[in-house]
Amino acid sequence: MKINKTNILLPTDFSDNAWSAIVYALKLYAEEECAFYFLHSTKIKASGMSDKLLRVMNENAKKELIELKEMAETSNANPNHDFHIILSSEDIKASIETAIKKYHINLVIMGTKGATGAEEIFFGSNTVTIIKKMRLCPVLVVPEEYDFVIPKQIAFPTDFNRFYNHIELNPLKNLATLFNSKIRIVHIKKEDQLNDIQEYNMVTLKNYLEEFDTSFHWLADYTKKTNIINDFIEELQIDMLVMVNYKHSFIESVINEPIISKIGFHCIIPFLSIPD
C-alpha cells in the first residue's frame, strides 16, 4: 500500500499528440493514487512582442490549461487522482526542471511528434533534448496516436558494462509492479562471452530483479541498434522499452547513432529514460 501519491508531470502544447500522452498516463495509473500536473510553457523566442499581446497569450494558455484539467477530470474515473495546472514563462526544459523540484515530481510523461509523410514516428527536438539532459527524474515518452496497451512485457537493454543500483532500477520495478509485467533483459553482443565485470553486473541485476518474472536475451550485433531493438520489440511483442541514461550508456549510443541525430529515434512503443 502506497502512503504517498505518485506525482506525475504532463507537459502539453495542447496538441492531439500531447493529449494522447495524457490519456496513456491516466490509463497506466488508473488504479493508483496520483497527482497529475499539466504544464504549459509560454516562452516565446520572438522579440518585439507587446506586453498586451503577451498578457493575452498567457490568459489564453491558462484558459486552455483549465479546460484540459476539466476534460481530464470528466474522462477520469479514479477518485484518488488529483489534477493541477502549471503555466510557466520559462522554456520547456527549464519549466520541467522547476516543476520537478517544486512539486516533487516522480515521473514526466510526454508525447513525441510524428514525421509528416514518413513511416517513422520519432522524438521531436524538445523531447530528444529533455531525454539527453534530464538528470532529475525519469521521462516516459509516448508515441503519437499510441493506443494504450497494458505493459505486460518490458524490455530493458543493457551492455552489462555498468553496475546499476537500487535507486536507478526503482522506476523499472515500480512500472513492472503495476501490472505484474515480465522484464526482458536485452544484450546486443559484440563478443561471444561476457568479461568478469559484465558477468558480475549481470548477476547483480538478476538478484535485484529476483521478485519479477525476468529473462535474458542475447542478440547478434547485425545492424544499427535502433533496428535491432525494434526487431526484438516486434518479435516478442514488447509493450514498453526502459533504459538507464548515463554517459557512454546504451541509450546514449542509440541516440547518438547518425540516423538518430538527423531525424530521431524510431519510437514504436512507450519508452522510459531513467537518469543515473
41 DSSP β-pair partners: 88
**Highest mean predicted confidence (pLDDT) among 109-123, 177-191, 200-214, 217-231:** 200-214
What residues does each domain of the chain span?
A: 6-111, 153-275
Backbone angles phi, psi at 165, to 5 degrees: -95, 175
Give the pLDDT of residue 122: 38
How far is it, in rounded angstroms, from Cα 231 to Cα 237?
10
How far apart are alpha carbons 178 and 275 in whole angstroms?
A: 21
Sign of CA dihedral 234, 236, 237, 242: negative
Q: Residue 230's pLDDT is what?
A: 80
d(CA 160, CA 194): 8
143 to each of 22, 66, 254, how far by Cα in Å? 12, 25, 17
CATH fold label, 6-111 = Rossmann fold (3.40.50)
Comparing C-alpha atoms, which of 217, 236, 229 is closest to residue 267?
229
Q: Where does 72-178 show beta strands of DSSP type E?
A: 81-88, 107-111, 113-114, 121-122, 139-142, 153-157
Instruction: Tell me the CA distances in angstroms from 61 to 89, 197, 224, 258, one per residue in order.
Output: 11, 52, 41, 37
**Distance between CA atoms of residues 270 and 181, nearest Å:** 14
Task: Give the pLDDT of residue 126.
Answer: 63
Give the residue carrying C-alpha cell 538478476: 206
User: What is the structure's pLDDT at 253?
Assistant: 58
Choice between 233 and 25, residue whose per-residue pLDDT is larger: 25
Q: What is the mean pLDDT of residues 23-34?
A: 94
Entry field: residues in the chain: 276
pLDDT of residue 40: 92
The Cα–Cα gap between 270 and 240 comes to 5
CATH of 153-275, one of 3.40.50.620, 3.90.70.10, 3.40.50.1000, 3.50.50.60: 3.40.50.620
Cα dihedral 113, 114, 116, 118 sign: positive
Stretch 47-59: mean pLDDT, rounded? Answer: 77
The rounded distance, in Å, linking the Cα atoms of 66 and 191 is 55
Q: Please tell me whether the overall predicted TM-score, pTM, comes out greater than 0.75 for this model.
A: yes
Q: In what order do the strands lie in the sheet with 6-11?
A: 81-88, 34-41, 6-11, 107-111, 139-142, 271-275, 240-245, 153-157, 182-189, 214-220
Band the pLDDT of 121: cuts 50, 70, 90. very low
> Is 109 a residue whose pLDDT tops 70?
yes
Quote the percentage of the chain above a pLDDT of 90.
45
* Residue 210 CA from chain centroid, whole number: 24
Query: Which one is predicted more confidently, 113 or 193?
Result: 193
Give the helix/strand (H/E) hosting 268.
none
Is residue 262 scored above 50 in pLDDT? no
- Confidence tier at 42 by pLDDT (50, 70, 90): confident
pLDDT of residue 244: 86
State yes or no: pLDDT of 49 exceeds 80.
no
Do the domains at 6-111 and 153-275 have one common CATH topology? yes
- 32: confidence class by pLDDT, cuts 50, 70, 90: very high
